Chain A
Amino acid sequence: MARPRRPVKGRAGGESSSCGRAMSPVQMKVLPQAVLQSPGEHPKFIEQPLCPPLEFARIHLIKDKDAIDDYLAKNIKGVSTQEAAAYRNSYEKNICIDMLRRGYHKSFSELLTLIQKWNAFREAAGPGSAIWHEKSLEEQPDKLDQLSHFLTGAEAARRAGHYEKVYDNQLSLACCFSDPEDKWLSNYFYEQSYNTAQLVEIDGGKRKAQAYVNMGLIEEEEGHITKAAEHFETFYELTEGTSWKDETGCTYTSLACQHLWRIYTLLADKMLENKQHHEAIKLLIKALKMAKEGGDIKMHGEAAYCLSLAYHFSGENETALAVLNTSVEIFTSLCDSAGLGRAYAAVAKILASQGKSSEAVKYLGEFMKDAESAHLSQSLVDANVLLGKVHNERGNYNEALEYFSQASEAAKALNNLPLVAETESYCGIAKAHQLMVPFNSHVAAAADPLSLQCLLAWKQNRSDMCTDPLPAEPGKETSDSKPL
């Protein structure tokens, strides 16, 4: 049965669906959102252990007559009073009693509190909300298994004074609940593990560092960017000079750099929104430093790109162009068409705003050549579109149309339907502009019978200006009627 899922917040994107974790809900307003490739996903610090289900408590889940007979055949001694009671009880009750008889009363009260919290959420949301249709925690035996296993593990470790084991158990729980509807549970255990991590002393601060990055990500998800930045900074300080690596082989330091870069960029975006250009530039320089230190070249390119945009907004176009150059170089070496497209678009925009459109054309020509030689079809489309736009703005509609139709051809070759549609609408715009010139001249000279005749003829067939002195092209105005 398909369960209705809560919609995942954030921009639509393919790469996020695998992890199921909601992306950072903080939307950028000024800088392009596409810059932040990596969503705020919790790093993988531990191998997720699986806990075995409780055989005893599962009895009651056997609802099928044959299965009961089978169970009885295996246990010839018959059913004891306790087993009979277990069969009658709910799974939640069995789990609780099992924990209690082993003496884990704190785990018991924590589990009950969590169940009550869930129910309170549900009551607060009211019927009709997404959470209303979801199963209560009590009715999900697998989750209860995980909870009881790790909670009791944590309690036993706490009694023995092994806080690092308490932390590990709590972190395992946080990692267990990866579905979006269990977000609150996962956050709750991240917070618990954060509190525990402050007491761990034997591992040189490794677990503390993990706790800080996890808390930072939670704060970021809730939109508290400044707090998140503080946590990430502490994480960075704790990991400096260590060689710790997470399960995917990524060092903690590079993780720290990555998160700090992202959070600084987000903060800078907020400032740009409030027109605090100077502070934003300062922050973006910090972000650039982090990106460099993190060792991820792509991140470096993106950071440079963002910084150049900030310079551009504050009017320092020369600096912006200089920074953009590094970004372009990096993206060229990476063959990153998306980045290249954005960087060149920024270059063209800056040059155009300075009135140096011929320079822009030259620059974009280089881009096109590079794209051709590197066989980056996407970039080829981008280059053509950008060139077309520059020409369009300068009033060279013929050139514009040419570049746009080239872009459309390249897009068709890519077999990318949205892109084809986009480029063809550019073609249509250019063509309309092209048609405007003779039309206006005819209207201006309406006293001339020839012009009038031309207008009337055009009104009749709507194809082209028949006696146009300019070279007329057969074709239609709208792009959507073209066969794709």
Chain B
Amino acid sequence: MAGQPRCELCGARAAPLRCPGCRLTYYCDVSHQKTDWVSIHSQICHLLSPVLRPQRCFHSEKDRKDGKEQLLRKQESLIAVALCRAQGFLWAGQPLEAIPAALQALRSSSRLLGPASLRLLPIYLLLAEASTGAGRPRQAAKYLSQAQWIVLQSPDCSAALQSKLHRGLGLFSIAEGNLEQALYHLANDVYLATAEFGLNSVEVSGGYFHMANIFFHQNKMDAANSLYTEVSSLWHAWLLSSLHGHQRALQARAEASPFSEEEEGSEDGTTEAQRERGARMLGAVLELREQGPLQHPGETAQILHSLAIIHYLGQDLAKSIHRAGNSCIHAVLDFGESWDGGGDGGGCCRVRLPLALHCRANIAKINPKNSTRTHLPPSPIFPLPAGIQAKGEEPVTMD
């Protein structure tokens, strides 16, 4: 901090401009200041001064303690805001905008926790991802080396973090075009994630998904298909159990007194980040499945159903209804096919169709204002085999 001020964005020594709001950050020119403002500074300008300015001198022990705690809380919230912002830009496909925010998070974190803290790892990985996306591979490599160094320094690093590191390395290798290396890192990622979270957890699906993409690229279709199927079934199973948890929670709340409404939403076990990841991954798989030469209506229905649950849990009811309706159609498609062929697929479809309808009915229950029927996409054009309609409508009451 002491000495000549450095540019907030590039670190250059000559930084004549100063932010008029907080009077704490310096820039070498207007363009840098603008970039930083768009990315993060507009959000944290007012948060910076209480953190960075010299602290007040308290007189009593108690006040000193309180002041310290307050400072800590402020620093934490600063980091959280910056990280959230960076992640948001990255998801929105704007890696360039994400970088200043991530750098801000990195600076604040290392100020708070020291340069070798394991909590810096996710930030470095985020920075690497953003740099790769922005077309700066050398920067990305530098950040990844930093991340690796942190892991090497702490032998008690959890498998979850190591798995994250390997995923970052794998993604970077993909961007470099070194697919064998990428597969190696992603395999490590899957192995470590399994060790931490268990075989059937969604945390494992990320590694599988990227591996599937590589196999797809290498034209090893059987491996890719098998992995994609694994990804969608992992998510589907997890989302179904979350949905049941959510419904149980709703029921419990309905039974409890109407005045206790403190905890909102989080008891179903899904976070926004998880939902976002799931929606992105499943969306990608769905796109591939719809473009591919082989049609898998059963699996497509499963993915659509998963997406419907995600939107439903995220309170995005219109999208949810749309997805659920599509899922219905696919399930019926699948069902119809196996009806004609008389194949073995009928069994699972007979399960899936009620599932989709069940989901739709749930939405209707939660949201009585929207009549579900009006929001449904046009009903299937082809004639249904006799008996299906009746069969399909009934299992709505399956819970």
Contacts and interface: CB of A to CB of B under 8 A. Distances in A.
A159 B199 contact: no
Nearest to B211: A103
Contacts of A105: 190, 208, 211, 226-227, 230
Contact of A96 (B180, B186, B191, B230): B191
Contacts of A109: 194, 199
Contact of A100 (B180, B187, B222): B187
Contacts of B220: 103
A82 B220 CA distance: 24
Contacts of A133: none
B223 interface: yes
Most buried by B among A102, A103, A108, A112: A103
A93 B191 contact: yes
A104 B230 CA distance: 11
Interface in B221-253: 222-224, 226-227, 230
A376 interface: no
A160 B208 contact: no
Contact of B227 (A98, A101, A103, A112): A103
Q: Which secondary structure dominates where chain B touches chain A?
A: helix
A205 to B, nearest CB: 20
B194 A101 contact: no
Contacts of A419: none
Nearest to A99: B187
B226 A112 contact: no
B184 interface: yes
Given A105-B208, A109-B199, A112-B199, A100 B191 contact: yes
B104 interface: no
A82 B224 CA distance: 24
Contact of B226 (A98, A101, A103, A113): A103
A346 interface: no
A159 B226 contact: yes
Interface residues of A, number: 18
A36 interface: no
Interface in B309-355: none
Interface in A71-96: 82, 93, 96
A106 interface: yes
Contacts of B187: 96-98, 100-101
B199 A106 contact: no
Nearest to B199: A109
Most buried by A among B208, B215, B222: B222
A375 to B, nearest CB: 66
Contacts of A101: 180, 183-184, 186-187
A100 B223 CA distance: 11
Contacts of A103: 211, 215, 220, 223-224, 226-227
Contacts of B208: 105
A98 B183 CA distance: 10
B190 A108 contact: yes
A137 to B, nearest CB: 16
A105 B211 CA distance: 10
Contacts of A159: 222-223, 226
Interface in B156-180: 180
B109 interface: no
Most buried by B among A101, A102, A109, A112: A101
Contact of B184 (A93, A97, A108): A97
A96 B207 CA distance: 14
Interface string A156-168: 0001100000000
B191 A97 contact: yes
B188 interface: yes
Nearest to B194: A112
Nearest to A94: B191
B24 to A, nearest CB: 42
Nearest to B200: A109
B222 A160 contact: yes
A218 B345 CA distance: 31
Interface string A97-128: 11011111110110011000000000000000
A104 B186 CA distance: 13
B199 A113 contact: yes
Contacts of B183: 101
A217 B35 CA distance: 74
Contacts of A93: 191
B210 to A, nearest CB: 12
A82 B190 contact: no
A97 B181 CA distance: 12
A159 B230 CA distance: 13
A96 to B, nearest CB: 5
Nearest to B188: A97
Contacts of B215: 103
B277 to A, nearest CB: 19
A160 B215 CA distance: 16
Interface string B32-61: 000000000000000000000000000000
A157 to B, nearest CB: 11
A93 B190 CA distance: 11
Interface of A: 82, 93, 96-98, 100-106, 108-109, 112-113, 159-160
13 contacts: A82-B184, A93-B191, A97-B187, A103-B211, A103-B223, A103-B227, A105-B190, A105-B226, A105-B230, A106-B226, A112-B199, A159-B222, A159-B223
Given A100-B186, A100-B211, A101-B184, 19 more contacts: A82-B184, A93-B191, A96-B187, A97-B187, A97-B188, A97-B191, A98-B187, A100-B187, A101-B183, A101-B187, A103-B223, A105-B208, A105-B211, A105-B227, A105-B230, A106-B226, A112-B199, A159-B223, A159-B226
